Amino acid sequence: MIVLFPLSAATSATGGSEGLSLGSRNAEYHERRLSVIQQFCILLDRLHSKGIVHGDVKPSNLLFDAAGNLRSIDFAEAVLESEPLCRYTITTHYPSPSSLKQGSPLTRANDLYAAGMTIWHIYTGRVPFEVIEEDDLYSLIEQGLRPDLSLIDDEAVRSLILKYLDSGE
């Protein structure tokens, strides 16, 4: 039996938006974030190496098992790369610019862009673009809006986020 624990926490005590439950913010917190990011990248690479496009990459679709291993859930939008289908739903804060085009098929690029957004979320503990209204957000993403990378104080993580975002456009 695998017991799973959510990566995302409920709303904060201040009523703010969903953050990440990775422990208190000390030296171990930074290492924990880096470990989660590394596990996430390996998990996504493994999925893609099997020809699977997840289709809904985001922190709330990541869980830890009892051994502390990161797992991906919610494959409702998943497709095989060899048999691409058009997307039916889009998660507000994680879509790639190309996924916003009407009738565009799901591709690995969609997952990669969402991975960049997810890594940003894991590192900052913030939902990307949480202060922008959904009606405006999609248009801004299509125009190239990116999350605030000045909040990423680790150059390797910033480069990783950019690599994923660039691969997904």
67, with CB counted inside 10 A (0-12, 13-18, 19+), is: exposed
From 56, 136, 153, 154, the catalytic residue: 56
166 is a catalytic site residue: no
CA 83 to centroid of chain Cα atoms: 23
Q: Where are the alpha helices (DSSP H) in the chain?
A: 27-49, 108-124, 134-142, 155-167
Q: Which one, of 122, 148, 151, 128, lies nearest residue 29 by Cα?
A: 122
Tally of CB atoms within 10 A around 34: 15
Residues involved in catalysis: 56
